[in-house]
Chain A
Amino acid sequence: MEQSLILKQLSEAVAGGFNACDRMENGQLYMLVNGVPTLNKDWTIATVDILVSVPNTYPVGGLDAFYVDSALMLHNGQKHSRVQPAPNILGKSWGVVSWHYNKPWSFSDTFLTHIYHCQDFLRKGSRSN
C-alpha cells in the first residue's frame, strides 16, 4: 500500500475541517473521524463518529462502506435499516453502514471525498434507504 498516500489524504481531510486520525487494530488500518455533522434532523444526534477501513491494496483497492457510532438512531427510535450491528473495533461499539458507490473507485477519489460520500448517507437521514 502507498501508506504515505493515505496519510497525505488524511492530512487533507484534517485541513478540510474534519477531526480525523489513523488507528490500527489487529493489523487493519482504520481512519477515525470524530464529530462528523449528521446534517439531517431525522437523526437524534447532531454529530457522529465514523470509521473507515483502509485496504493494504489502497489506492488500487479503494474505500467502501463505513462504520458509525452505534448511538446513531432515527427520531422514531429505530436504527436505520442500512446500519447493521458490528463487533467492537478500537474498544467501541459500531454499526456497519451498507453504503456503496455506484461507480468504481478511481484515482481521483480520496479519503476526503469518501467522507463526503459517507456524509451523503447522513444528509439523507431516513430517506437513505
Chain B
Amino acid sequence: MIIRTSEIVWTQIDQILNRSFNQNKTLEWGIIGIVEKLCDEVLLIREVFPPTSQDLNQSEGGLVFLSPYIRRAQLYAQRQGKSGLTFFHTHPLADDHVSFSIFDDAQEPLLMKNLQEVWPGSEHISIVVGKNSHKGRVYLKGKQVQDLMKLYVIGRTIKVFSLLGNSAQVPMPSHIFDRAKEVTSAGALQILKDMKIAIIGAGGTGCLMVELLRRAGCGSLVLIDDDIVEDTNLNRLLFASSTDVEDKNKKVSVALRGNDQCALGNKLEIIDGNVTSSTVLHKLNGIDLLIGCIDKDYPRYVLNDFAVKYFVPYVDLGTEIGIAGNKLQTLDARVTYVYPGGPCLNCRGLIDHERIRLEGLEPQERRRHIGLGYCQDIDIKQPAVMELNMRATSFAALFIRHLVQPFLDQSGEMDFRESVTSMTFKKISFKKQELRCEICGYKKQ
C-alpha cells in the first residue's frame, strides 16, 4: 500500500516537521493530514490541518496531539466524506533510520481504536519521521494494521520516500541500464523500475512510448487501447505487419508480442478497452504515472479529470500536422505535464469542448452538425508520421527521467511544443486567464 500527496501539501507538512531537525532538536513536532482511500493500494493525503499553538503539547521526548485538534480534523474529514486521518510525528534524534518507539507502539493503538469507535469504518495512517527517513503504517477497518511501502509526492517533480524506516537503500539496476546511469542515476532508475506506468493509446506515439520506457528501465507498464491494426497504421506502428491488418489484430496485442520479443525483464499488461468506460478507468487507480498518447479530446478530458482528482502525474503527448489547401502549415510535437497545483489540459486550452460534443455523436449525426458550418470536420483522418511521433515521445521519455531526478537539480518547463517546420519551441498559451479553471482550480498569477 502506498500514499500519494501533492508537493503543496508536502511543503506544509515539511515546514512543521522540519522544526525538529532545524531548530530545537529536542522537540517533537506533529501535524494531522486528511486521508482519502482511492483503492486498496493507494491512499491520498489531499490536505493537512496545521496545528495552532494550542493543539500540541510538547515536552522533551514526548508529543501529545490534544483531543480538540484531533476532533476538529475528524469532524472536517468526516463531513467531507474522507476515509481517515494521518498523524505525522517526528523523532528528532533519528537520522537515516527511524521506527516507532515502544511508547508509540503502546499508545497509538489506543488512539486508533478510539477514533475507529467514534468514526466507524474509518482508516488512519501514522508516519514517524526522522531527519532522512520515514516509517508508516495504516490502521485498517477490522483492527488490521499494515505497513506502508512508499510515499509519492507529486508536483513539478516526483519524489518517492520509502516508508520502511530506512533512508533510500537503492539496489543497483540491471547492467542493461549501465549506459543510462549518467543520465538518470541508480536511484532514479529504481524509481522507474518500481513505478506502475499506464500508457493510454497504443497507436503511433503509444507504441514508441512503450519502447522508450521499456529501455529506460521501467519495470511495470500497462497499455490501454481498443483499436485494431489498420493498413494506414503500418507507417508508424512498431512491430506491426500486414498480417496483423489481415488478422484484424488489436494494437495492444502487437505491442505485447513486441515486448515479449525484447525480453528486457519488464512487465507489460495490456487492456483491450477505452478509458471513457468507467470499468477501464477504475483500473487506473493503482497507477503511479499516466501517459496519454491519444488523439481524441474526450478520453483526454477523462484522463485529465482523473489525474487532477487523484493526484496522479499525467504526461500528455500530441502531434499535429496542419494542412491548408494542399500545403503543409504546421508540424508540431507537444508534451504537457499535469500535476497537482499546476495548470491542467483544460486551462492550457488543450481540450476543446466542441470537439468533445462532436466526438460523442454518431457519424451520420456528426456530419449533419458539421454541415451547419460551426465546426471543423473531425472525421478526416489526421496525417501522422513516425518521425514526428518520435520527437514527442523522445521529449516525453526524457521528461519522465527529469521528473524522477531533475537534471541539474532544477525542475524545468512543464510544457514543450516544438514546431518542426521552423525548428523552434512555442509557448503554450492559457485560455481564460482571468478565471479559475473549473477542473483544476488553477488561476494564472
Contacts and interface: CB of A to CB of B under 8 A. Distances in A.
A64 B357 contact: yes
B96 to A, nearest CB: 48
A27 B373 CA distance: 23
Nearest to A58: B360
Interface string A51-81: 0010111101110110000000000000000
Given A28-B364, A57-B298, A65-B369, A98 B374 contact: yes
B362 A26 contact: yes
A61 B372 contact: no
Interface string B327-365: 000000000000000000000000001001111111011
B91 to A, nearest CB: 47
Interface residues of B, number: 20
Contacts of B298: 57, 60-61
The DSSP consensus for interface residues of chain B is: helix
Contact of A26 (B364, B368, B374): B364
A55 B276 CA distance: 13
A96 interface: yes
B301 interface: yes
Given A61-B298, A62-B353, A56 B372 contact: no
Name the residue in A55, A65, A98 with the highest tally of chain B Cβ atoms < 10 Å from its Cβ.
A55
Contact of A57 (B356, B368, B438): B356
A28 B362 contact: yes
A91 B364 CA distance: 15
Contacts of B360: 1, 55-58, 61
Interface of A: 1, 26-28, 53, 55-58, 60-62, 64-65, 84, 86-87, 96, 98, 100, 104-107
7 contacts: A55-B359, A55-B361, A61-B360, A62-B357, A64-B369, A100-B374, A106-B438
